[in-house]
Structure 1
Amino acid sequence: MKLWLDKLFAMINTSIKKVGTQPEIIYLTGGMGLSPIVQKAIRTAYPSINIEVADPFSSVVLGAAIKAKKVFQ
């Protein structure tokens, strides 16, 4: 799990560096982001950033709807 978290933190840190500022929120949409262990690790690593966890089923449905609109419009 630590290797996976190290890769996740590297992606988050790279994104923050590219933008040049910390985000107001980290939005977890599913997969490993639903794990309480992962959520705790992110909250510990980024205590000043609000962490929101989406309903994973709604996220998938919304993504499919957006894609369908682009394809069939």
Structure 2
Amino acid sequence: MSLLVDASQARWRKSRRSSSTGSDCVEIADLGEAIAFRDSKDPTGPNLMLARTAWQDLSRRMASGELDL
């Protein structure tokens, strides 16, 4: 599956799980059909996009402890 979603106008927010020291910061943007992630220390760098359904599945699996992260 290929996502062709324009993230140029994304409204990024810092994840609640990011560290308070700024060393491990992730920003998330809701793009409608996709969720995008990026390193807040490199806002012009690459970002990762997941289809909304893939993000929901990943979130559920992380919350349940199914994944060893």
Relative to the length of structure 1, the TM-score reads 0.34
Higher relative contact order at CA 8 Å, sep ≥6: structure 1 or structure 2?
1
Relative to the length of structure 2, the TM-score reads 0.35
Higher-helix-fraction structure? 1
